[in-house]
Amino acid sequence: MPSPVSLNLNYVAPFVADHEWEQLRPAVSRAHRLLHTGTGAGAEFLGWLDLPEKGNHEELAHIEKTAVRIREYADVFIVIGIGGSSLGSKAVISGLNHSFHSFLHPKKKNSPDVFFLGEHFASDYTAELLEALDGKSVYVNVISKSGTTTEPAIAFRIIKTWLEKTYGKEEAKKRIIATTDREKGALKTMADGEGYETFVVPDDVGGRYSVLTPVGLLPIAVGGISIQDLLAGARAACREYNEEHLMHNQAYQYAAFRYLMYQKGKQIELLSTYEPKLTNFCEWWKQLFGESEGKDGKGVFPASATFTTDLHSMGQYIQEGRRHLFETVLYIGKSRNKIEIPQSKGDEDGLDFLSGDHLDAINEKAYQGTMLAHTDGSVPNLILEMEQLDAFSLGALIYFFEKACALSGYLLGVNPFDQPGVESYKQNMYALLGKPGHENRRAELEERLNEWA
């Protein structure tokens, strides 16, 4: 079965000449070989590359069995993680589940409400979540390879304490699932000591590529989404985007287009969608490309927008601001629901000419009109089209971007699988918090802060 993701290059011709594609083809072939022979930078983290093809039937069966049990007994499922430990599952759940799942009548739900914690240190958010849990049956999935990442580690302390006070220590243990390292780390040690059910974070898959591993699949399955369909879509994409030749591989064409835009001074990519259910998917995409490419003073800055909402806030800048951005549009052909525009007796708003039309049709014309306006304003537009938003299509789109991102990093000459810069803020934070061993650094940082006060 082919990938349901289609790359539309019809609107980029004014911005990229035919010979530019041809000149880039040898570099794409070299990057492809680095990726598929495991000889490029970061090759120890290529487990995602053939993950949809390999599969692990025993692991998937374990995930689905656990998800069924949680869906049966839980009102609320809390996912504790940060970055790649939460963004992927949040993207899929919000993309495919009912937009107002929390407000549905219990009889209309086939899964618990899924909430996310451990992504920040915000007191009000945490307190309000705890308040909302009163009287609910709660299960928790804590996700961390090490167990020492500060945000989720603190969140887990808080939730673990709440669970033990609410249910007692023994029952709390049954409600906690840990997704962590196979053999080592603080969370693995705690999970073994407490007897938590566990799933493994693969050693050869980095966090931002981990949505199709237990890291993402367990929360997604608990959310009532078919992980079999999700993986089937990824598998179709894995097979389709395996071709070395640039003009036969749409994932590589996307990566090549980004590289060409970057060389022409387009330093910002705006991923836009006309479907608000994909807003969190854009957040996952931003981490994937930002953390993979943003190093060595290089990289396209990933930004996102949800249209038509953001056309009323950022549209002016996109249309007439600095010409340093290009746009990739995620376009969904049809919705699951049809909403017809009713007729108004007095036509007070002057919109009776739309009576009988569907919102989908209006959304399509808004997309077409915006795309034409932006290209006229010298904003190159690349279109990624899917006929519908379902688990199969979203699985394919995830793999499309993962493959394109890896190749894009190699084209830029960076390691797309490490993130050394992420540690800088952590070390400063640890020092300012007084973590043992950081005393000298703390004094230095406090002196600098005082100078700027």
Amino acid letter, residue 355 = S
Cα within 13 Å of Cα(144), Cβ side: 26
Catalytic residue, chosen from 136, 426, 444, 446, is 426
Residue 291: active-site member = yes
DSSP class of 280: H
Q: Length of the chain, please? A: 453
Half-sphere exposure of 291 (CA within 13 A, CB side): 19
Determine the straight-line distance between the first and last CA of the chain, rounded to whole angstroms: 61
3-state secondary structure 361-409: HHHHHHHHHHHHHHHHCCCCEEEEEEEECCHHHHHHHHHHHHHHHHHHH
User: Hey, what are 135's tokens?
Assistant: 């009287």
Residue with tokens 């089209």: 385
User: In angstroms, rounded to a whole number, what is the distance separating the alpha carbons of residues 299 and 54?
Assistant: 31
Rounded to 5°, the CA angle 45-49-54 comes to: 115
* Residue type (1 letter), 22: E
- From the list 151, 240, 269, 291, the catalytic residue is 291
Please identify every residue annotated as catalytic.
Answer: 291, 426
